[in-house]
């Protein structure tokens, strides 16, 4: 069963890794402006944020396998549409359909916890490792295919999509109890609030953080999300139980995930810029080309695979809280190292590999603990909320780093000053330290999911 699940996760990783590096060349080939390319990327961010809680909740209500098949079909259809007829419109529609990949992990964990709870931890660590590796491989394969023709790289995900459709059909259904109704009013409010929030994070730097429309949209997001919470509190069948949001274990894990993803994912784009910067022009950087940068990125996700694979063994020996805190500590250590040792490539790469290792560690342990924090019937939604925390943390991290870059430009040039990177590395380290402090507040059992499922109440506390 884990092998079949890995095929589905492989598709999710390939899709996340192959399109972003292709967009500049594909956009040039299809005459899509830089603004148009940014809008396509923005659409994917909005789709990720909106679909994460909705698909997760629908899976808990109507069956994890059923919703997983819908998600895989959407991603496969979007990938095929982009490859067969690439235009600005089909790219926009395709990335929205591909946004359904955010449902893969929550729904697969729902099936895994139901059908093989004794393999929950090792299974999640394997799936996280496959996800990280496939993101790196997707970028490399797409780059190789597009060397002669930019649009050829758009076919990268199609063969894997076919395999994933077969895998989704072959997977067994979960035995998790179902019940309740889908709250459409709450779904509309949550969607509107998340769309507004993502727009502020993605466009705030372009519009200006103090611009009227930025502030108006930010206030609107807060008001709509507050209204959503009020509606959920009064509902007999809430979309997302407010009681779940106050679950102390889930709150700590999701907060930690936010802090960890702030740097590990939020800094990825800036990391590539630093590696590619010309030292002669900027006074910093490594003068690397695209292939070398992709190779270092692959090395980082390989380290992430190792970190994910080690997680179950480490939790057995050290306990969940120690591993959770260690992930945050390693992230902080890696970014402090980048700030201090960024003059030579070997030293910088070592620090980047530490961040990569910590990424695998935190993504594995946080997904595991979010699943175990709730009753089985709420598994997909709990993991989905953790995925949403990851997406928001990465988006806010990228926005903060972009703001530092805009504030530190070398006079008379368009180059980011070295101080911009120093502020960025410092912010990533500081937020990771905050995440570590939060992780130390985690209180949970050292036992496996199977051993404490029977004692878990809906509130997330042990009975």
CATH number, residue 385 = 1.20.1250.20
Determine the Cα–Cα distance for residues 198 and 205; give it in Å rounded to an integer: 12
Same domain, 262 and 138: no
Match 């394997």 to its residue by tokens. Answer: 126
Runs of H (alpha helix) within 236-289: 242-245, 248-264, 268-276, 279-282
Indicate whether 442 and 387 sit together in one domain: yes
> Residues 23, 118: one domain?
yes
Instruction: Give the pLDDT of residue 113.
Output: 86
Total domains in the fold of the chain: 3
- Let me know whether 29 and 152 are in one domain: yes
Q: Where are the alpha helices (DSSP H) in 373-453?
A: 379-407, 418-439, 449-452
Whether 69 and 171 map to the same domain: the answer is yes
Identify the domain boundary among 222, 238, 254: 238
| Same-domain status, 167 and 217 | no
Q: Are residues 28 and 99 in the same domain?
A: yes
Q: Are residues 359 and 261 in the same domain?
A: yes
Of 255, 257, 254, 250, nearest to 460 by C-alpha is 250
At which residue do the structure tokens 């359904």 appear? 100
User: What is the phi/psi pair of residue 445, to 5°?
Assistant: -85, 145
Q: Are residues 174 and 213 in the same domain?
A: no
**Beta-carbon count within 10 A of 205 CB:** 17
Contacts of 91 (CB under 8 A, 6+ apart): 26, 30, 32, 40, 82
Same domain, residue pair 402 and 423: yes
Residues 100 and 166: their CA atoms lie apart, in Å, by 17
Q: Which of 133, 162, 179 is the last residue of a domain?
A: 179
Q: How many residues does the chain have?
A: 463
SS3 384: helix
Provide the domain limits for residue 423. Answer: 244-463
Q: Do both 13 and 124 map to the same domain? A: yes
DSSP 90-119: HHHHHHHHHGGGGGHHHHHHHHHHHH-GGG
- What are 98's two structure tokens? 């591909």
| Non-local CB neighbours of 26 within 8 Å, separated by 6+ positions | 32, 86, 91, 146, 150, 151, 153, 154
Question: Of 162, 179, 196, which marks where a domain is finished?
Answer: 179
Mark whether 143 and 260 lie in a shared domain. Answer: no
In the chain, count H helices and then E strands: 20, 0
* Tens-digit pLDDT string for the chain (463 aa): 888 999 999 999 999 888 877 777 787 788 887 667 767 877 887 888 888 888 888 888 888 899 999 999 999 999 999 999 998 899 989 999 999 999 998 999 889 888 888 888 999 999 999 999 998 888 888 877 877 787 888 899 999 999 999 999 999 887 665 666 788 888 899 889 988 988 888 788 778 888 999 999 999 999 999 999 889 888 877 877 777 777 889 999 999 999 999 999 988 888 888 998 889 889 999 998 877 888 888 899 999 999 999 999 999 999 999 999 999 999 999 999 999 999 999 999 999 999 999 999 999 999 999 988 888 878 888 888 888 899 889 888 888 888 888 889 888 887 889 999 999 999 999 999 999 999 999 987 544 444 444 444 443 433 3
Contact 276, 288 (CB under 8 A): yes
């Amino acid at each position: 069963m884990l092998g079949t699940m890995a095929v589905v996760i492989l598709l999710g990783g390939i899709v996340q890794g192959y399109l972003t590096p292709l967009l500049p060349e594909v956009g040039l080939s299809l005459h899509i402006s830089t603004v148009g390319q940014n809008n396509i990327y923005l659409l994917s961010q909005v789709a990720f944020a909106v679909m994460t809680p909705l698909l997760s909740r629908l899976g808990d209500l109507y069956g994890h396998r059923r919703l997983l098949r819908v998600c895989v079909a959407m991603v496969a259809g979007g990938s095929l549409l982009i490859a067969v007829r690439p235009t600005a419109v089909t790219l926009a529609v395709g990335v929205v359909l591909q946004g359904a990949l955010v449902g893969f992990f929550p729904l697969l964990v729902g099936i895994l916890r139901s059908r093989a709870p004794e393999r929950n931890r090792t299974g999640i660590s394997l799936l996280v490792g496959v996800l990280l590796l496939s993101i790196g491989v997707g970028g490399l394969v797409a780059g190789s295919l597009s060397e002669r023709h930019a649009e050829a790289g758009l076919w990268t995900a199609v063969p894997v999509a076919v395999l994933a459709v077969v895998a989704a059909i072959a997977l067994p259904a979960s035995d998790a109890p179902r019940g309740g109704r889908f709250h459409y009013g709450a779904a509309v409010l949550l969607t509107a609030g998340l769309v507004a929030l993502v727009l502020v994070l993605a466009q705030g730097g372009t519009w200006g953080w103090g611009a009227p429309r930025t502030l108006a949209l930010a206030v609107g997001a807060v008001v709509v999300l507050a209204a959503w919470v009020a509606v959920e509190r009064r509902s007999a069948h809430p979309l997302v139980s407010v009681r779940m949001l106050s679950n102390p274990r889930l709150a700590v894990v999701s907060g930690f995930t936010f802090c960890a993803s702030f740097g590990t994912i939020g800094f990825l784009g800036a990391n590539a810029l630093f590696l590619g910067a010309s030292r002669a022009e900027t006074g910093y950087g490594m003068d690397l080309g695209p292939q070398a940068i992709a190779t270092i990125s692959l090395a980082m996700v390989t380290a992430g695979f190792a970190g994910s694979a080690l997680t179950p063994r480490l939790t057995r020996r050290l306990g969940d809280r120690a591993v959770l805190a260690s992930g945050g500590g390693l992230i902080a250590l890696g970014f402090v190292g980048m700030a201090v040792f960024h003059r030579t490539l070997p030293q910088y790469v070592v620090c980047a590999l530490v961040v990569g290792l910590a990424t695998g560690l935190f993504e594995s342990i946080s997904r595991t603990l979010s699943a175990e924090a709730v009753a089985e019937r709420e598994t997909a939604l709990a993991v989905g909320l953790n995925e949403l925390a990851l997406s928001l943390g990465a988006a806010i991290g990228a926005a903060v780093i972009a703001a530092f870059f805009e504030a530190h430009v070398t006079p008379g040039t368009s180059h980011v000053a070295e101080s911009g990177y120093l502020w960025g590395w410092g912010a990533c380290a500081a937020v990771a330290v905050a995440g570590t402090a939060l992780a130390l507040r985690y209180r949970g059992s050292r036992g496996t999911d199977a051993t404490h499922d029977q004692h878990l109440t809906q509130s997330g506390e042990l009975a």
